[in-house]
Amino acid sequence: MKKSVLTRYRVMAYVTAVMLLVLCTCSVLSRFLGVLDKDVTLVVSQAHGLLFMIYLVVAFDLGQKARWAFGKLLWVLISGTIPLAAFFVERKVVREVSPLVEDAHAAPVEA
């Protein structure tokens, strides 16, 4: 598997997790404290939704290339919906998938 597949997953996992935390913060500030305008929450929620769809595609691609079982793939996909879970799942995935990554700078094999 190429390193770029894992890199794409890592970037999208972090971006999605951060956006989910921002969305949760905006929701609390808007609904319960009345500090934030609901339009800001709407924009943040739409941005998170778009980024989450990209995350699903990237995570599915990684899961297919790593040949994960359906349950593991489903857990990784769902982790983007649970605040803070994506940070922990991303670290675990990177540890498991790193040995499968091809080293692009490896010496060529002679015949």
User: Which among 50, 2, 45 is positioned nearest to 20, based on CA atoms?
Assistant: 45
pTM over 0.75: yes
**Cβ 72 vs Cβ 63: under 8 Å:** yes
Look at residue 108 in the predicted model and tell me its pLDDT. 58
Q: What contacts 34, CB < 8 A, 6 or more positions away?
A: none
Q: What contacts 54, CB < 8 A, 6 or more positions away?
A: 12
Location of structure tokens 């339009």: 39
CA distance 73 to 100: 16
38-96: pLDDT as tens digits = 889 999 999 999 999 999 999 999 999 999 999 999 999 998 889 889 899 999 999 99
